[in-house]
Structure 1
Amino acid sequence: MHSLRHILKLSKRQSNPLLRYYSSENWDVVSNAEVKRFARDCMTSVGTKPEHADSLAEVLVQADYRGHYSHGLNRLDMYVQDIRTGITVSNKEPAVLKETPATAFVDGQNVLGPVVGDFCMNIAITKAKQSGVGWVVAKGSNHYGIAGHYAIKASDEGLLGMSFTNTSPLVVPTRAKKAILGTNPISLAAPGNHGDSFVLDMATSTAALGKIELHERKQLPIPNSWGVDAHGKMTNNPTDVLNGGGQMPLGGAEETSGYKGSGLGFLVEIFCGILSGSTYGPNIRRWKNTTTVANLGQCFIAVDPNSFMPGFEGRMSDLMGICRNQEPAEKDKDVLVAGDPERIHMKMCDDRGGIPYHPNQIQYATDLSEKLNVRPMATQTPK
């Protein structure tokens, strides 16, 4: 059976699927602590509370460490701009509006999304330990980084964790021409034995917007089904998607079941925007708009598996092992489960002594440090 230890060894001989479009062998490396310091300094330089800056910095570091570069440092300037313009605040704290033993309704009070997310998932975890399940919905929130960060918080406590958020309208539903849905990510983290876990963290679009932005920054074409141009036609040019076009739902076109991706997008919208009474669908502010408050809706769920049949972790590990032990279609690539690519990437980062960044990303961070008058990130040669 392919164990967690076996999967981690793959980092030596198997390319990480999260980096399959790029070669990171010669990228500069930055330690996790240094990335966090830099993000924190950038945020506090524009008036963010230190504790709020810490919450945000932790999410950004985890995104890059796990290989989701679209949601790490790549997003820092967006948060800086939100605080600098005052469209997101840092002088308030999330507040519980109503609750039952198993549920809570939270007003994020327009603070940074990771602050709201940590607050809500901590409540969900507490309620799950007391009542078997904790279901928390928030309004008045903002972009909160990778959804998996919050689901993993619950999994680390031996619980099933789920996290959902609606986002600005970027996705064009099947047969439509205009974007009305967000990428609306879904995350589920389920614990197995000996530190193993299943961690699903996915957008309900074919690809995250940040990935399209990174392709444009590196002047690379995007694969089929990632996006459409302003006329609703599929394109391989990332600039066409970013300038008046839109992303495609999971599955792409109708003939490849894009309507299922649209359905998942609506599922998240119901759990988040509709249930919380926050903005939803096309009513959400456009991406990087700093003239109106985002008022995003988010949903956080924690479930105690011991409320049901005992032995959940063992069965979870057995299922993951069955999957990993399947004969691969390509001899040089093992079968993985959700969370394995991220574990491989984290092992690679540990082996190199930090997170590897593309030279363009390092330059972007350097430019940002000059604008904000903060100490730039210190890079190091990979081990």
Structure 2
Amino acid sequence: MITVKKEVLMDYGCRVFEAAGVSKDEAAWVTDCLVRANMKGVDSHGIQQVPGYVRGVKAGRTKPGAKMVILRETPAITIIDGFGGFGYSIARQAMELTIKKAKKIGIAFTGIHRLGHIGRVGRWPEMALEQGMIGIASQPGGVFVAPWGGIERKLPINPISVAIPTGQGSPFVMDFSLGPIAGGRLSILIERGMKVPPGWLIDDEGNPTDDPHFGANKGAQLPLGQTGLGYKGYALSMFLSVLTGPLIAAYNFDGHRPTGVFLGAIDIAAFTEIDEFKKSMDDMVADIKSSKLAKGFNEILIPGEPEYNTEQRRTKSGIPLDEAIWKRLMDTAESVGVDTSMYEVEKGGVVLHPSYTLKDKY
């Protein structure tokens, strides 16, 4: 394991994406989203995604510089074609428009077709959060989850995120998938030779397994809830599949899966005074945290607080990366002509060679 400061990862991502043909501004935004994921401890959606994105650009699957096109619009609703552009860039444009509309009429929703990976889904509701709003986002992801009572992959992983402002401390940011584990996390477990907790996966015959290869290549994940309550996660997953599929006409009927992105913003000020809302949120959080603790717990955290705390720690200590992942990052840099000698590993940490200047700030 090595440790890398966020500024060095920002420098790396910007250089590699620009060398792959991505504009300076787009390279900086995509890299910022990736490094933010690392900073919050969501490493599966962090800088390790760069090699795959670069391959997508080279193969023409991802089109840098693509602009969104509005297909259908009302004062509160927008349907957008992303034309295969970088998910991060199109989602940014779409969320900015959603927030703008919500400021005018109180609430707005946006659906996006033909869009690449948008990474950590929590990034998009956080944009609304920064404007004093409630944000919502969902993208289907890969089809890994079996329906309740089935053993075949039929449902996407369906991550969902909602961000809500508070007055003090960590905001409320829920961000999770409706299957037990994201594909990126499975890759990390495979990389490290680790097993999956019991009750998460089944093999291709429906038998329980702790082998992450069954989650990545065959077999299926069980819907959120497991242990007799998976029908609840199954129902929620179908609901999200409707929002990101039939509702916004982004459904791949050949592959039986939704393919769109669903975004939303709610202007709190249209419903109540923002200061009163934040005070009520703080009171709610304080009441929840006042509960007696269960055995094995030192404190009660609200959704988003673990990531908030991780970001504070990693700001000081840096971001841990597996050496195998760092090697892949260097291989990708070399494949697009970036001189990797500028990144030096010293005492378990990566520093920029003194002859180079950091390209961008986080």
Length-normalised TM-score, structure 1:
0.84
1:322-348 Cα shifts (integer Å, max 9, x gaps): 222222213652111101100111111
1:283 aligns with 2:283: no
1:93 and 1:149 mapped to 2: Cα distance?
Answer: 20
Structure ranking higher in strand proportion:
2
Q: Give every structure 1 segment of 4 or more consecutive aligned residues whose post-TM-superposition deviation is greater than 4 Å.
A: 377-383
3-state DSSP of counterpart to 2:71: strand
1:7 alignment counterpart? none
2:150 alignment counterpart? 176
**C-alpha spacing 1:281/1:313, structure 2 compared with 1 (3 Å):** farther
Do the aligned partners of 2:144 and 2:215 also contact (CA within 8 Å) in 1? no
1:203-234 Cα shifts (integer Å, max 9, x gaps): 11111111111111000111012222222222
Aligned match for 1:124, one of 74, 98, 109: 98
AA in 2 matched with 1:58: D
1:11-26 pair list within 5 angstroms: none
1:72-111 pair list within 5 angstroms: 72-111=46-85
More moved, 33-42 vs 110-119? 33-42
2:321 and 2:52 mapped to 1: Cα distance?
Answer: 19
AA in 2 matched with 1:262: Y
3-state DSSP of counterpart to 1:170: strand
**Structure 1 residue 368: deviation in Å?**
2.5
1:232-284 Cα shifts (integer Å, max 9, x gaps): 222101123223222222123xx431121121211111111112212348727
**Structure 1 residue 296: deviation in Å?**
3.0
1:15-56 Cα shifts (integer Å, max 9, x gaps): xxxxxxxxxxxx422122221221222223222233332232
AA in 1 matched with 2:92: D
3-state DSSP of counterpart to 2:138: strand
1:339 alignment counterpart? 304
More moved, 208-217 vs 30-39? 30-39
Identity %: 25
1:367 aligns with 2:339: no
1:263 alignment counterpart? 235
Do the aligned partners of 1:230 and 1:246 also contact (CA within 8 Å) in 2? yes
**Structure 1 residue 317: deviation in Å?**
1.4
Q: Which runs of 5+ in 1 are unaligned?
A: 1-26, 286-294
**C-alpha spacing 1:375/1:284, structure 2 compared with 1 (3 Å):** farther
Aligned match for 1:317, one of 282, 285, 291: 282
2:15 alignment counterpart? 41
AA in 2 matched with 1:309: T
**C-alpha spacing 1:204/1:282, structure 2 compared with 1 (3 Å):** farther
AA in 1 matched with 2:269: N
Do the aligned partners of 1:182 and 1:281 also contact (CA within 8 Å) in 2? no
Aligned match for 2:212, one of 238, 241, 245: 238
2:359 alignment counterpart? none
2:271 alignment counterpart? 308
2:19 and 2:268 mapped to 1: Cα distance?
Answer: 43
3-state DSSP of counterpart to 1:163: strand
**Structure 1 residue 117: deviation in Å?**
1.0
1:273 alignment counterpart? 245
Aligned match for 2:24, one of 50, 54, 77: 50
Do the aligned partners of 1:198 and 1:337 also contact (CA within 8 Å) in 2? yes
Q: Which runs of 5+ in 2 are unaligned?
A: 350-362
Aligned match for 1:134, one of 96, 108, 113: 108
1:55-81 Cα shifts (integer Å, max 9, x gaps): 321211111111011111222222112
**C-alpha spacing 1:225/1:44, structure 2 compared with 1 (3 Å):** farther
